[in-house]
Amino acid sequence: MCGIVGYIGERRAQPVLLGCLRKLEYRGYDSCGIAVTADGLQVYKDAVRVEALAKSAPQFGGTVGIGHTRWATHGGPSKINAHPHLDCAGRIAVVHNGVITNFRELRRKLAAEGHIFLSETDTEVIPHLIEKYDTGDLEAAVVAALREIEGSYAIVVMKAGEARLVVARKDSPLVIGIGDRENFIASDVPAFLEHTGRVIYLEDGQTGSITRSGIRINSGGREIAPKEDKVLWSANEAQKGGYDHFMLKEIHEQPRVIRNTLAEFTQAEETASGSDLTREIGVSPILMLACGTSYHAALVGKYVLEDLVNIPATVEFASEFNHRKNIFGKPLGIAITQSGETADTLKAMKRVRSQGGRVIAVTNVVGSTASRIANQTIYTRAGPEISVAATKTFIAQLMILYWLAMSNSKADSRRIASLLLELRQLPNRVQQVLDNEGIIAGHAKFLSRYEHAFFIGRGINYPVALEGALKLKEVSYIHAEGYPAGETKHGPFALLGRETPVIAAVSRDDTYEAMMTSMKEIKARSSPVIALSEDGDGAVEELADFVIPVPHVDCIFSPVVNCVALQLLAYYAARERGCPIDFPRNLAKSVTVE
């Protein structure tokens, strides 16, 4: 969740670090800080935004430094709890992502040995442990300190007077950017993408020593040759491109994302890349694992796979699956994670594999931890998604799931041919939704006046209701719940009335008449209704207070057009309420701790 940056080179480190930290603001934070080696260690940190820190910080002149954006976990947001943290002598500085589970025990032990702690954080034990073991070789001291640490970590360590940075990771992401006589470190690629696209992804259990002209990686006490990857994104893709918010830009990118993903399918079919594992989809029951928006994509995938492949699919919250006592059989797992670093999903993947199961990862990030755990990885190719609220990556995940189902379908060949034709038309259909942006913005203005809302759907549009509610609460702070329409009578009806609008996703499938009945019952309780329905559906227009028209598609693709409409509804409701759309309070883009 927090953001790490590091720089070593020939430029002044401070402006580079602050620029990199700005690129990580989408991860969410409540404090930030930097440390630079210049006449000893110079540290400046506070419980402020990066821009405020940049304006108030003194000018440091060194060319080696580290930085951090922090979400409070151990201890509230404050200047003293912000990173970097130092040892007693103020010569060793550390930035850290993750959770040290045995920090209380370590802190008591170190305090008894004379170490003085200033903060409430778990992180502060790390520089003190390194100080304890430092006899002149910083990397050796880091390795010795980590032997005592339990939990998860990605750390960057610097020492006064040394022109190098030491890195290490376990269960938290860390990536090294390779430049020309300069190197970068970050928790996520966008931090340094404007400087370099050449990267090394640090693996679990590895440590590294980085100078301006070299990178040395150690694994299990042995030096290994680092594997260099090339980031396929461009720096321009991580910019707003004239839009007011990243979220709006990323919503509008979705026709292109669908085209790119479909092109990826074509290439995969031509090369038969990784086809052995994907062919297993029609053989054994499927276990789908995900969190948040990715979980809603998995729920849509369940309907699609069961319909087209005729095989049972189970969807589990990865965070709950990790606490299940038993796994029955050896399922084929499909793990869906936008970042490839979602801690709960990674843990669930490892558990499936430890039981002899096989896992397909669906992720947006090449080289991510999920791609290294999985037996096979399918990339969504959505490009960098900066806004905390997932939009284009969700649609790209749906495209992957449609492709997996169609590639292994037992349905009539004529139906599959018809669906493939419609699939190729989806970018145009999504553009038609975007062309109705003004209508949706008007309905969002109405919705923005309320504090509570329900979203309802049936069948394949039940996950749409869940995702629509999640988007609205994430960015507008309106309390929203998603329900299967038939379940609203089993409790939620008690909350209906003039102050509780209902957003209904209506599809022309075998749930249509039941949805119409649900809407009539809701209207009888005086709740305003905003309906998503095919353009020109007179029955819905007569019943609902407001209608968001969506183009006709095969019912199996209705989640795509409906979710794009609901993304716009959430965006414009948040805009009306003056919310910080790209950086919702308390939320992070990647949840890298359990």
How much is the average pLDDT of 449-455?
97
Q: Are residues 252 and 225 in the same domain?
A: no
Q: Which H/E stretch holds residue 537?
A: none
Percent of all residues in the chain with a pLDDT value above 70, rounded to a whole number: 95
Residue 418 lies in a domain: no
Q: Are residues 28 and 165 in the same domain?
A: yes
Distance CA 103, CA 207 (A): 21
Residue 493, pLDDT above cutoff 80: yes
DSSP 84: P
Structural domain total, the chain? 3
- Work out the mean pLDDT of the chain and round it to a whole number: 91
How much is the average pLDDT of 450-470?
97
Residue 422 lies in a domain: no
Distance CA 477, CA 392 (A): 21
Q: Are residues 119 and 189 in the same domain?
A: yes
Residues with Cβ < 8 Å from 194, sequence gap 6 or more?
Answer: 19, 23, 235, 238
Instruction: Determine the residue type at 130.
Output: I
How much is the average pLDDT of 274-288?
71
Residue 516 lies in a domain: yes
Residue 266's pLDDT band (cuts 50, 70, 90): low
Q: Are residues 64 and 183 in the same domain?
A: yes
Residue 43's pLDDT band (cuts 50, 70, 90): very high
Q: Of 212, 231, 250, which residue is a domain's last?
A: 231
Distance CA 288, CA 303 (A): 12
Q: Are residues 455 and 329 in the same domain?
A: no
Residue 543 lies in a domain: yes
Least confident of 7-16, 382-391, 439-448: 382-391
Instruction: Determine the residue type at 15.
Output: P
Hey, what's the torsion of the CAs at 582, 235, 205, 339, to 10 degrees? 40
Distance CA 457, CA 461 (A): 5
DSSP letters spanning 212-247: SS-EEEEETTEEEPPPPEE--S-GGGGS-TT-SSHH
How much is the average pLDDT of 144-148?
95
Cβ 582 vs Cβ 246: under 8 Å: yes
Q: Are residues 197 and 275 in the same domain?
A: no
Q: Are residues 328 and 401 in the same domain?
A: yes
CA angle 589, 46, 55 (to 5 degrees): 95
Higher pLDDT: 72 or 514? It is 514
What tokens were used for 65? Answer: 């430094």
Q: Are residues 155 and 288 in the same domain?
A: no
Hey, what's the torsion of the CAs at 209, 210, 211, 212, to 10 degrees? 170
Quick one: which of 381, 362, 376 has its CA closest to 263? 381
Q: Positive or negative, the Cα torsion across 90, 94, 95, 97?
A: negative
Least confident of 110-119, 265-274, 445-454, 570-579: 265-274
- Largest distance between two CA atoms of the chain: 79
Residue 90 lies in a domain: yes
Q: Of 231, 248, 280, which residue is a domain's last?
A: 231
What tokens were used for 165? Answer: 């940075």
Instruction: Determine the residue type at 440.
Output: I
Helices (H) and strands (E) in the chain, counts: 19, 25
For the chain, the residue count is 594
Q: Are strands 41-46 and 31-37 parallel, antiparallel or unpaired?
A: antiparallel
Residue 274's pLDDT band (cuts 50, 70, 90): very low
Q: Is 155 helix (H, G, I), strand (E, B) or coil?
A: strand
Residue 186, pLDDT above cutoff 90: yes
Distance CA 586, CA 220 (A): 37
Q: Which residues are catalytic?
A: 2, 589
How much is the average pLDDT of 72-98?
91
What tokens were used for 167? Answer: 């890195």
Residue 416 lies in a domain: no
Work out the end-to-end distance of the chain between its first and last CA atoms, rounded to an integer number of angstroms: 10
Q: Are residues 123 and 227 in the same domain?
A: yes
Q: Of 169, 202, 231, which residue is a domain's last?
A: 231
Residue 357 lies in a domain: yes
Q: Are residues 77 and 100 in the same domain?
A: yes
CATH number for the domain harbouring residue 150: 3.60.20.10
Residue 128's pLDDT band (cuts 50, 70, 90): very high
Q: Which domain holds residue 119?
A: 3-231
Residue 25, pLDDT above cutoff 80: yes
Residue 172's pLDDT band (cuts 50, 70, 90): confident
* Predicted pLDDT of residue 115: 95
Q: Are residues 124 and 216 in the same domain?
A: yes
Residue 419 lies in a domain: no
* Predicted pLDDT of residue 389: 93
Residue 300, pLDDT above cutoff 50: yes
Q: Positive or negative, the Cα torsion across 228, 194, 369, 85?
A: positive
Q: What is the pLDDT of residues 317-352, one digit of tens each?
A: 999 998 877 776 778 899 999 989 888 999 999 999
Distance CA 113, CA 368 (A): 40
Residue 26's pLDDT band (cuts 50, 70, 90): confident
CATH number for the domain harbouring residue 587: 3.40.50.10490
Residue 386's pLDDT band (cuts 50, 70, 90): confident
Q: Are residues 151 and 296 in the same domain?
A: no
CA angle 140, 146, 151 (to 5 degrees): 165
Residue 449's pLDDT band (cuts 50, 70, 90): very high
